[in-house]
Amino acid sequence: MDGIINVYKPKGMTSHDVVYKVRRIVKTKKVGHTGTLDPDAEGVLPICINRGTKVADMLTFSDKRYTGKFKLGITTDTQDISGTVLNSRPVNVSTENLKNVINKFVGDIKQVPPMYSAIKINGKKLCDLARKGVEVERNPRSIKIYEINLLDFDGEYFTIDVKCSKGTYIRTLGNDIGEKLGCGATMTELIRTQSSIFNVENSVRLENLTSENYLDYTMPIDQLFDYEKIVVTGINLKHTLNGNAIKVDGIKKGNKYRVYDEEGKFLSISYEDQDFLKIEKLFYVGD
């Protein structure tokens, strides 16, 4: 069984906890997730199974969407409500003021990763250093915020919907918004609502996933892609399975294709290059 299950991760579990549980449900060891969600966060966590793990990197590096809730007036060492409070400041923020500040973060921006993160510097995770009271200099990273929508604001708490590129820390975004407002802000809730083509609406709650029904929720690998389909036979099939480029009539310059054998087995994602079809990712090499 190969494919991707769009699991809704509950609060209180690590992403690795979810992988462990899915492993036991589907009874296979080759299982991986596609982008860590903190234990206190919940939401969409696509889980790749067997050959599906070959697309894990594609999904990890895809755009994401989140709903985040923040409390104005405090900052913590973790940038979320689980951390130690570092500062408390009075809040005097209007809805118009908040919207104006939020809009300044839309587009290509630089973001300094938080100390409480899994990023490694000199082979050591920042979160491990942070727990020892060590803070190191972090270089700003380029990210993109496609849009931010203010969903709710009561003068103390605000909730935003954020569509962003990979590598974006939503708690850091909230922290930076709070600093621009002059009062600070800390994340209190986080839900990932979308990762690539997977969203909350087509997810399955982990507690509802069983060894009897998991196939009902498993998306075949090729459904991730909407490229044109090509069937290969004979020597072209042999070359494809060996990872070699093939000559195919009628392919369009610069296009990508889903490649299958005559039995309908999904073989690869391939692309046109100088009239040849070259493999970008090989998924099937025979049983």
Q: State the virtual CA torsion across 151, 152, 158, 160 in degrees, nearest 10.
A: -10
Question: Which residues share a beta bridge with 47?
Answer: 5, 33
Phi (first) and psi of residue 269, to 5 degrees: -105, 120
Q: State the virtual CA torsion across 205, 211, 213, 217 in degrees, nearest 10.
A: 60
User: What is the rounded CA–CA span in Å between residue 60 and residue 34?
Assistant: 5
User: What is the rounded CA–CA span in Å between residue 197 and residue 273?
Assistant: 27
Is the separation of the CB atoms in 269 and 240 below 8 Å?
no
Catalytic status, residue 176: no
Catalytic residue among 2, 17, 38, 273: 38
Is the separation of the CB atoms in 172 and 112 below 8 Å?
yes
Is the separation of the CB atoms in 166 and 60 below 8 Å?
yes
Phi (first) and psi of residue 109, to 5 degrees: -135, 170
Q: For 266-272, which contacts have Cβ atoms below 8 Å and span 24 or more sequence positions? A: 266/220, 266/221, 266/222, 267/232, 267/240, 267/241, 268/240, 269/225, 269/227, 270/230, 270/240
Phi (first) and psi of residue 110, to 5 degrees: -105, 140
As annotated, the active-site residues are 38
